[in-house]
Structure 1
Amino acid sequence: MEQSRDHIFSIKNNNAVERDEELVQRHTPWLLNNYEDDVWKLKPHIHSDDNSKYTVNWNIFDTNQYIGIFNRWDYWKSAAKELAYWIMNAPTNKCKTTTSLANFSRSIRELYEWLCFERKCFSLSEVKQEDITSFIEYIASKNLTEGTVLNKLIVISHAYTHREYLSESFTFNPFKSKKVTALVKAYSIENGHTPTLYPQEIFGLLNHALKLVKESKNILHLFDKYMEMHSDTSVAHTSLNVRFHKLMGVKTSEVQMQVRALYGAAITIILILLAERKHELSLTREDDVINMLNNDLDILVGLEMKTAKTITGKKTERAVIQEVKDALNVILELTKYTRVKSGLETILLKLPFGHSANGQGKKSFYLSTNGLYVVLRYFADSAKFNRVEIRPHMFRRAYSMLWTWRYEIGDLEELRLMLKHNSLNFTQKYTDDEEVWEFMGKNEQDLAFDLLNRAFQKKIVVAGKMGKTLERYSRIIQAKSTLLDVMSIADHIDEIIIDTGLRVVAHADGFCFINHTSLQNALCRTEGIGLDPVKRKDSICMNCPNFATDNSRKPYWEKRIELHQEVVELSKNVQLVESSKNFLKKAEKILETIS
């Protein structure tokens, strides 16, 4: 029976593949080789990326462990390719780039490998909910970030939602009762994003980078001399180091180390001051930079691919200052030899100390992601910074955090435009950071700490909706502390502020206790603006869950009650009188609490 069943399915599947092959061959401009190949080479979305980023291997790396137990990988491999094809080609599909397709394809292979070998599923139509649950639990055990988990869960969803295009699919909706986003949060690690650079670290690295670029004349001279001697065919490479050291008084290894550190410094300046994405910088053209430098322009033209929603990308323009121009000039000097040799027009190229092959025997001259990490590591070493490994994205996040806590949450829309984000959601992700306390201004830190400290020690009485929350915090502190002293209270306050990213905004009527979660509940919030001062009035504040006031504001509330009492007694407007009565009822409770 089993053989017959295999045979029947094989015929069905082969017919589907034969039918699909004609279709696939006509509609795969994103695939550089054949659909039938077990290793797909996707057309690069960003030409400066590593080739490996666009290579998808449909083979299983270690089939020996599966021999003799269950092996239907040919079926699952065919099904995996088919799903990947339709993820890219389905009319309703949102996957527009080969970068995304490569990530989806690897997740498909991982899912189907699990179903085939671990769960021993015969086909897609025989997969059960418990098989999917098993895979999700496996994913959860790997301690992955939200973005990675989301990619893997979306693939599970695609295997069902693309069923009208597939030869065979799941017979049930894997996420019918649960939202994918909820599962992602549940099964990913908390705060799994790139580590945050603290303000003092950002400015320390920036100052060091500016110093290296400003004092780069000598190292650039040594670099040119090294390349001059290196290109002299009459000088044997074995004796180059000795001759260079004798002539210039410095070892070639030292020159190479300083050049790499300088390259990393110049890149750091641009990433910090322009908040560019890594690929945006790598696609910057020499002609655009030279045109800006020669014509005293203050605008750098670039190309952004990640959020462009087009194959060709979208043009960007960024205002630059002299320090950025100096950094760009250094990059041009360091990469000029590679640019001549390669004929490439972009500025971010490898240094001429060695090149890697791309797997086809061809040299790759673009500065790869790993190459970028290397020069940043040399720069960090020169700055004696070793708390974390520097990554390009850290500077972009740090830029966002500094902006947010300098200019308040209300300027997120402007920040979104500067970061070239398509949605405010991405910007909020950047600024919703567990290290937010490090970016708050000194006055905000002091105010938050002082208010909580005095409230928890019962030195002030707090009223308002937020007062109940503060009472709860106070009970938590008492439960945790065997001895409720000033030091233990201070320690717990630090925990609360740091864990929640709490900040306090002072107003005439009281205080707003704000973190990124509570901001969504603020009654004076306007989409795209944040806390909107135009909306602020005492009647709204009294009902806001973020609002609290203390006895220092007693005169203010007494005056407001007096004014509203006059309205009740003198006004003939029924609605106005009713509104003032409601205000008085709540305001008198606040006054009674803080008196």
Structure 2
Amino acid sequence: MNNESLGLQGLIKDSAQGSTGDIYHTTHLDWLDSNDLYDIEWSVKPHLNGNGKASWNVSWEPVSSNGKMQMYWPSWRRFGQKVVFWLMHHPEKKPPVSSTICVYAREIRAICEWFCFERRVASVSEIFRDDIDALLVYLESLQLKRNSVNTKLSMLRLFNQFKPLVGEGLSFDPFRANGSISKVSKQISVPQGHTPTIYPRDFFQILNSALAMLNRADHLLERLDAYMNLRSINVSKSSRNVSRQYKKKYGESTLELQNDL
């Protein structure tokens, strides 16, 4: 029986009774080359041509590991993989495209890894409010753009939303106390920023100034060279004295020369 025919409520009921364990083995994972959810190295089947092979790979090996917490990583890894499974096989939601699921899977793995090795939380069911607050502080320290933070927090919320399907997860909505994900993302991210617009009139003014500078570049370099020669000849004299000599000889002040540079 597939997920669609069983329905969301049926899946939740079976999960509560512990009878969905085989679904991760019996469901055909047409989006994974190996068709094995618990592989440590995933190769997601691409939906676009042209991207390098590495862009479709997802590794479930932790980047950094703490020896004492290493024993807990397999259960964290399987939990994260199950969350990705339900992103792809949710009976009431359209699955993301391959490129998106690669991004989501990496974000989920990174969050699991942070809780396991940085906060030293043994399992997802042992995450408390102070762990969530610590994660938000950590994300803020990374100085990420709002969209990036929003993606990470959206994946974190799945730890609670998919708990009925996975059979384990966050026991509380991590953002109920803080407001919406969008609000939290805005608070802990840096401004998105954009490239300032240069209007045509301003652009041509800049272009004309640049062309004018190029036209007098040789003359400008000659004047600069003359000033540097005076400085080298009169090393023992003050800058004011050299400036007076330059103005007397070339008819302009060193300030005018500086402004032209």
> Relative to structure 1, is the Cα distance of residues 58 and 189 closer, same or farther in structure 2, using a 3 angstrom cutoff?
same
* Higher RCO, 1 vs 2 (CA within 8 Å, ≥6 residues apart): 2
Distance 1:155 1:90 in 2: 15
**Which residue pairs with 1:71 in the alignment?**
71
Cα-to-partner distance string for 1:188-245 (whole Å, 9 max, x where unaligned): 211346xx2xxxxxxxxxxxxxxxxxxxxxxxxxxxxxxxxxxxxxxxxxxxxxxxxx
Three-state SS of the structure 2 residue aligned to 1:29 is coil
Q: Deviations over 1:342-372 (max 9, x none)?
A: xxxxxxxxxxxxxxxxxxxxxxxxxxxxxxx
Query: Hey, what's the Cα distance between the residues in 2 that align with 1:70 and 1:76?
Result: 10
Aligned partners of 2:125 and 2:160: how far apart in 1?
Answer: 10
Partner of 2:232: none
Q: How does 1:195-344 map to 2 (within 5 A)?
A: 196=195
Instruction: Tell me if structure 2 keeps the 8 A contact 1:71–1:117.
Output: no
Contact 1:144 / 1:189 at 8 angstroms: preserved in 2?
yes
Count of residues in Structure 1 that have an aligned counterpart in Structure 2: 184
Do 1:31 and 1:43's aligned partners in 2 also have CA atoms closer than 8 Å? yes
AA aligned opposite 1:183: V
Determine whether 1:189 maps to 2:190. yes
Is the Cα contact below 8 Å between 2:87 and 2:96 reproduced in 1?
no
In the other structure, the counterpart of 1:172 is 172
Show the 5 A alignment for 1:37-436: 37-63=39-65, 66-68=66-68, 71-177=71-177, 178-192=179-193, 196=195, 435-436=196-197
Q: CA deviation at 1:127?
A: 0.9
RMSD across aligned positions (CA): 2.3
- 8 Å CA contact retained: 2:25, 2:37: no
Q: Who is 2:250 aligned against?
A: none
1:212 counterpart residue number: none
Percent of residue pairs identical = 24
Matched to 1:36, the amino acid is: Y
AA partner of residue 22 (structure 2)? R
1:23–1:129 distance in 2 versus 1, CA, 3 Å: farther
Cα 1:32/1:16, change in 2 over 3 Å: farther
Aligned-partner Cα distance in 2 for 1:439–1:179? 37
How far residue 94 of structure 1 moved from its aligned partner, in angstroms, is 4.6
Paired AA for residue 32 in structure 1: D
Match of 1:260 in 2: none
Q: Deviations over 1:282-315 (max 9, x none)?
A: xxxxxxxxxxxxxxxxxxxxxxxxxxxxxxxxxx
Residues 125 and 151 (structure 1), Cα distance of their counterparts in 2 relative to 1, 3 Å cut: same
Q: Which amino acid aligns with 1:59?
A: E
In 2, Cα distance between equivalents of 1:47 and 1:161? 33
CA contact (8 A) 1:149 1:188 kept: yes
Distance 2:90 2:112 in 1: 20
CA distance in 2, matches of 1:48, 1:105: 21
Shift of 1:99: 0.8
Q: Which runs of 5+ in 2 are unaligned?
A: 1-14, 203-261
Q: Which residue matches 2:33?
A: 32
Query: What TM-score, normalized by structure 2, do the two folds share?
Result: 0.64
* Counterpart AA for 1:46: L
1:70 deviates by 5.8
- Structure 1 unaligned blocks of 5 or more: 1-11, 197-434, 443-595
Shift of 1:130: 1.3
Question: 1:145: how far off?
Answer: 1.5
TM-score (norm: length of structure 1): 0.29
